[in-house]
Amino acid sequence: MEDTYLVEIRLARTRWRIKETIQAIAQKFNVEDHQERHPHITLYGPFTLDNPVHSKDILQIIGSCASGIGPIPFMIGSWEQRDGIHGGVVAFSVKPSPELVKLTSLISQKLSCLTISLNAWDLQADKKWFHATIANRLPPGKAEEVFNGLAAMSKTDFSLHSSSSISFQLSSFFVRLATMAGIKKQYKKVHPVFIDDAGLRITVMHNDDILGEYDLLQKRWLNADEIRDPFSWQKTMTLYRRYAGFELKGPLDHDPGEIYLISDLHLGHTNIIRYCSRPFVPSDVIEMDRTLITNWNYSVSQGDHVYFIGDLRHGREACLESEYRALLNGTITFVAGNDDRNTESAVQSVHLTYEGREFLLLHDPNDAPAGFSGWIIHGHHHNNDLCAFPFIDPISKRINVSVEVIGYCPVSLKEICQTIRERILPSGKPLFLRYSYVD
């Protein structure tokens, strides 16, 4: 067998969510033997070495290319189908950031003269297909069958949201369907994905083994133990949060008496990290709670007013709501969510007028009264359907302040109005995420 190498970025925050979706698709369309086990974005390769080049030379070159680049943001989109080197391919589309294009081009330039690439696109960086494979090496006609099936389902069978429990809403595309007639085994329901992620490490594969992994936050190659060490990954994720602005370093300056909005903290809820691809190690809910509470208090002073639009805590392992409330700055009005409709002092909705605009605050936008012509500020949908529920949608006049969408920090009503006035109305386009780290 010929030695082959591959340079890739493996998914970080979205890894669990994408793997679950891939497994569901593979099971539904009977392509388990072809599914991708480690979702990634290929930067270069597969390739072989041209003598007298050694693998250590490859690592040195890749490290020099990556040394001046931080985390690599990108958006994961819906389905695509192509003919690959060894058969049909079905994949998630990836919208690359300038950083991803730059890194890919740089690595291609440096390696192309020292290696024998088996991928024609490596020498055409401007035409490179950025994607995350769902299944590959598919026999003739199978990729088209899977793609057409997914496209048809996206128009008919997909239902991402429910007004009932949060567990159903968040895991709806992982819920098993009833056994279909004539098919004994069950399969999971699948949904289109539109979510942001960032490459935090560059992985170099040698055949089926990891040759090396370069950490884009720590700016170094990791040793073999660090690559799989959860504590090492926790360090990388912490550095990423600070880099991206998801973990504030200190109090933010602002005028006193500001109005802030935020929803769906889900404090104490371990599984929310995986369900909503939050930037934390999946097992460390304590770190998530600490960061979200600190971000709140660095954003909000005691003289500010906060409208919290539902779902403060979740799960039997969470602290009492009163304990969490005592830790949060500001005068807080609680709007009832799915998990706290019976909470004392919570209201069902709030009407506000600010800078001449009318706002209705409620947890689930589907509960808005018919005929309301102002802007609806809501939570409930997290980042599970950014196409339908982005941060600001000028068509539906909806504003999603779920914590994942607004960068894990409360957002002021002043900032929202300024964004609507200066960016949304002139362009007429939605703004999917509040934070500038991903456009």
Tens of pLDDT along 285-320?
999 999 999 999 999 999 999 999 999 999 888 999
Pairing of strands 357-361, 350-354: antiparallel
Instruction: Tell me which long-range contacts 324-328 makes (C-beta under 8 A, separation of at least 24).
Output: 324/267, 324/293, 327/293, 327/297, 328/293, 328/296, 328/297, 328/300
Average pLDDT (206-230) is 96
Average pLDDT (129-157) is 88
- Residue by residue, DSSP assigns 19-41 as HHHHHHHHHHTT-GGGB-SS-EE
Question: How many CB atoms neighbour CB 163 within 10 A?
Answer: 12
Tell me, what's the pLDDT at 171? 37
Residue 104 has pLDDT above 80, yes or no: yes
According to CATH, the topology of domain 5-242 is Cyclic Phosphodiesterase; Chain: A, (3.90.1140)
Residue 21 has pLDDT above 70, yes or no: yes
Extended strands (E) in 309-406: 331-334, 350-354, 357-361, 375-378, 392-393, 398-400
Higher pLDDT: 258 or 317? It is: 258
* Domain ranges, ordered by start, for the chain: 5-242, 251-427
Q: What is the largest CA-CA distance in the chain?
A: 73
Higher pLDDT: 78 or 169? It is: 78
Residue 160 has pLDDT above 50, yes or no: no
Residue 414 has pLDDT above 70, yes or no: yes
Closest CA to 72 of 51, 49, 100: 100
3-state secondary structure of 150: helix
- Model confidence band, residue 136 (pLDDT cutoffs 50, 70, 90): very high
pTM of the model: 0.89
Q: Which of 102-111, 112-121, 401-410 has the lowest mean pLDDT?
A: 112-121
Q: How does the average pLDDT of the chain come out, rounded? A: 88
- Contacts (Cβ under 8 Å, ≥6 apart) of 248: 294, 295, 298, 299, 409
- Model confidence band, residue 193 (pLDDT cutoffs 50, 70, 90): confident
According to CATH, the topology of domain 251-427 is Purple Acid Phosphatase; chain A, domain 2 (3.60.21)
In contact, 311 and 363? CB cutoff 8 Å: yes
Query: What is the distance, to the nearest Å, from the Cα of residue 116 to the centroid of all Cα atoms in its chain?
Result: 34
Extended strands (E) in 328-410: 331-334, 350-354, 357-361, 375-378, 392-393, 398-400
Residue 157 has pLDDT above 50, yes or no: no
- Model confidence band, residue 158 (pLDDT cutoffs 50, 70, 90): very low
- Residue by residue, DSSP assigns 308-328 as E-S--B-STTSPPHHHHHTT-
Tell me, what's the pLDDT at 200? 98
Tell me, what's the pLDDT at 58? 95
- Model confidence band, residue 189 (pLDDT cutoffs 50, 70, 90): low
Tell me, what's the pLDDT at 340? 61
Task: Give per-residue pLDDT as tens, 335-385.
Answer: 999 766 456 689 999 999 999 999 999 999 999 999 999 999 999 999 999
Q: Please classify residue 296 by burial: count the beta carbons closer than 10 Å to its beta carbon, then call 0-12 exposed, 13-18 middle and 19+ buried.
A: buried
> Identity (one letter) of the amino acid at 213?
E
Residue % of the chain over a pLDDT of 90: 78
- Model confidence band, residue 164 (pLDDT cutoffs 50, 70, 90): very low
Tell me, what's the pLDDT at 343? 64
